[in-house]
A and B are shown apart, each in its own frame.
Chain A
Amino acid sequence: MIAASRAVFRGLGLRIELRGEEHLPTTGGAVLASNHLSFLDFTFLGLVGVERGRLVRFLCKEYVFGPSVVGWAMRRMGHLSVDRGPRRPRTSTDGCGVPEGPPEGLIRGLRCPGELWLNSAARPGLWSFHGPRLGLMTTATLVLVLVVVVALAFDFTNGFHDTGNAMATSIATGALRPKVAVGLSAVLNLVGAFLSVEVALTVTNAVINIQDSKGAPKADLMADGGYALLVIILAGLVGGIVWNVLTWLLGLPSSSSHALFGGLIGSAIAALGLSGVKWTGDGTKLDGVIGKVILPAFASPIIAGVVAAVGTWLIFRVVGHIAKEFADQGFRWGQIGSASLVSLAHGTNDAQKTMGVITLALIAAGQWTDTTAVPLWVKFTCAVAIAAGTYVGGWRVIRTLGKGLIEISPPQGMAAEGASAAVILSSSHLGFALSTTQVATGSILGSGVGKPGATVRWGIAGRMVIAWLITLPAAGLVGAVMWYLGHVLGGALGPIVVVLILIALTGYMWMRSRRQPITAANVNDEWEAMPETKRLERV
């Protein structure tokens, strides 16, 4: 065992220096205590014993001695097990007379024939855990950590998928250099995210039934540290991310919110059946999948398109016979202003969805109780995640929006972003939530329709509409499959496997994207230079 440990240390490239080993007597009893902050560190102290020609007995929590190979080996090597139940310390090894008393007494009064390691002496709080509960707590905590990390990853994809909504037109017309545009948008998203003081903790209530109207999780999902609810959320988030990354790979702007909702709907159906989904509201306001997702999805591109078309038409009527340079210069500024407004609104609207989801997970796991506020670190990490995503820039989506649909001019850009900003702000003001992505796409199409003599590539627009139609079922399917997987494997293993699959899928899609990278450098290349069929093949 000692030789094996040394081989491992050597394999890891560790160089270990011993100091003060002379303080360990070569005979008689002695206690060695160490800090324990990582998986490996306690093993180093064993080398001190070896140096002095002695073997060390480790004092370990009881569950290490369970019915496994490790447990058998631990017993054979004569290590000592400790029940960390409250105020009931005892060792299971014969020959160790340990008096009753708190853990401190255990150390002081130890009269073992050999030496002893005191493991995890650094954290007195651990002593209050019960053995059996300890395992459960770790599983629930692990799943909670996975949910938080995956939620932040979703927030990141939300940012980079939607950069184009605000900045595609400014980048395409050259009003802003690509890197400057995404930087500006990132800062405004960050500011917008911090502005969301009042966060809707009831974000999932729009489409599924896992919370009550105040935002607290349903009681029957709260057993085992909220495990059932955490797995539903985790699977839903994975569905949202996979769909976001896939549509990014294909360069299709699709709604991040719909991807999230789709994923959650899928995992909720898998976990709770069809009754887990809120299909419509109670009739007093727009609610449920139909009211909050499907109907707005049809309405938003049409409304935005009409507004942008009217705006574009009016602008060209007014400026038709003035010098082009004059018009372009003026409209560049108008475009930057209106695009900034869209970015700000995006930060406030979208970052708070992730904040709501993470806080729901924390409440379910018993780590947070206030249903009217969000922990500060949640707000901070969500704001940073969405801004970082925005700054990375989903160049593939930006290219489609800025160059693919129409050849955009500064007046059209101004009309499109003005329409987007107006539609997003007035719809959230009037409680009729619209998808930013669909609004932005509708606006750009509208600005193509409204300009006399402009051509619109309807084929690309058609592909987008198909993507919008299948967003909900596709993300839902992934969410459902992930939930089944997590559920069948169960425990800590299920969620871990789900996350590993997420990493594998997104990693694969990222690798695919490298075959034909789109970056800040080539985002504005001529669209027609690359024939449609070739583009599809290469993707």
Chain B
Amino acid sequence: MNNLALAADGAWKVLVASLVLGAGLPFVFALGVRARASAAGARADGEHAERRPVGNVLFVLCLLVVLFGVALGITIVVASGFGKAVSFEHIYPTIVSK
């Protein structure tokens, strides 16, 4: 039964972390795509909407957030390969020994 409790605990943590990164980042990416479309004035019905250049700024911001997330992912992979782990105890990620 202990295994079950441990699994539930692990699964719960994985679910929360993955929702933030795995659904959150694609959501931010989608916001960026929408901002870029709005900057170009492209709409689903084929009509041309008014161009909003501020969308390009938002697009770059969103892209930076996503790229940061990807870089974090790569860091976790590489760090675990070298026997290190990425710690979030200072909120911002740091590389520590396992």
Contact = CB atoms under 8 A, between A and B. Distances in A.
Contacts of B25: 418, 422
Contacts of A345: 73, 77
B36 A288 contact: no
A337 B29 CA distance: 12
Contacts of B78: 195
A432 B13 contact: yes
B44 interface: yes
A320 B70 CA distance: 25
Interface in A280-315: 280-281, 283, 285-288, 290-291, 295-296, 299, 303-304, 306-308, 310-311, 314-315
Contact of A285 (B6, B31, B66): B6
Interface string B5-16: 011001101110
Contacts of B73: 341, 345, 421-422, 425
Contact of A197 (B4, B10, B81, B86): B81
Contacts of A304: 18
Contacts of A280: 2-3
A318 B3 contact: no
A348 B29 contact: no
Given A322-B44, A331-B33, A432-B14, A283 B26 contact: no
B26 A334 contact: yes
Nearest to B75: A425
Nearest to A345: B77
Interface string B56-82: 000000000010001001101110111
B30 interface: yes
B85 to A, nearest CB: 7
Contacts of A286: 3, 6-7, 10
A423 B14 contact: yes
By size class, the interface of chain B is: 35 or more
A42 to B, nearest CB: 48
A196 interface: yes
B3 to A, nearest CB: 5
B22 A418 contact: yes
B36 A341 contact: no
Most chain A CB within a 10 A radius of its CB, from B19, B38, B77 = B77
A314 B43 contact: no
A530 to B, nearest CB: 32
Contacts of B33: 318-319, 322, 326-327, 330-331
Contacts of B26: 311, 314-315, 334, 338, 414-415, 418-419
B30 A411 contact: yes
A288 B15 CA distance: 22
Contact of A337 (B3, B70, B83): B70
A198 interface: yes
Given A198-B82, A322-B34, A331-B33, A314 B7 contact: no
Contacts of B82: 195, 197-198
B77 A419 contact: no
A265 interface: no
Contact of B18 (A192, A307, A324, A338): A307
A314 B29 CA distance: 11
Interface residues of A, number: 63
Nearest to A194: B81
A327 B4 CA distance: 42
A430 interface: yes
Contacts of A311: 22-23, 26-27
A426 B17 contact: yes
A344 interface: yes
Given A310-B23, A422-B18, A429-B76, A299 B11 contact: yes
Interface string A251-295: 000000000000000000000000000001101011110110001
A434 interface: yes
B15 A314 contact: no
A282 B52 CA distance: 61
A428 interface: yes
A427 interface: yes
Interface in A389-426: 411, 414-415, 418-423, 425-426
Contacts of B37: 319, 322-323, 326-327
B46 A307 contact: no
Contact of B21 (A195, A283, A414, A426): A426
Nearest to A422: B22
Contact of A296 (B7, B31, B81): B7
A170 B94 CA distance: 32
A97 interface: no
A106 to B, nearest CB: 53
A429 B82 CA distance: 13
Nearest to B15: A303
B44 to A, nearest CB: 5
A293 B74 CA distance: 25
B23 A314 contact: yes
Nearest to B72: A425
A84 B76 CA distance: 55
A328 to B, nearest CB: 10
Interface of B: 2-4, 6-7, 10-11, 13-15, 17-23, 25-27, 29-34, 36-38, 40, 42-46, 66, 70, 73-74, 76-78, 80-83, 85-86
7 contacts: A198-B83, A420-B22, A426-B14, A428-B76, A429-B17, A432-B11, A434-B14
Given A285-B6, A303-B11, 12 more contacts: A198-B81, A295-B7, A296-B7, A310-B19, A315-B27, A322-B34, A326-B33, A414-B26, A422-B17, A422-B23, A423-B18, A430-B10
Top 3 nearest A-B pairs (CB, nearest first) are A422-B22, A432-B10, A195-B81
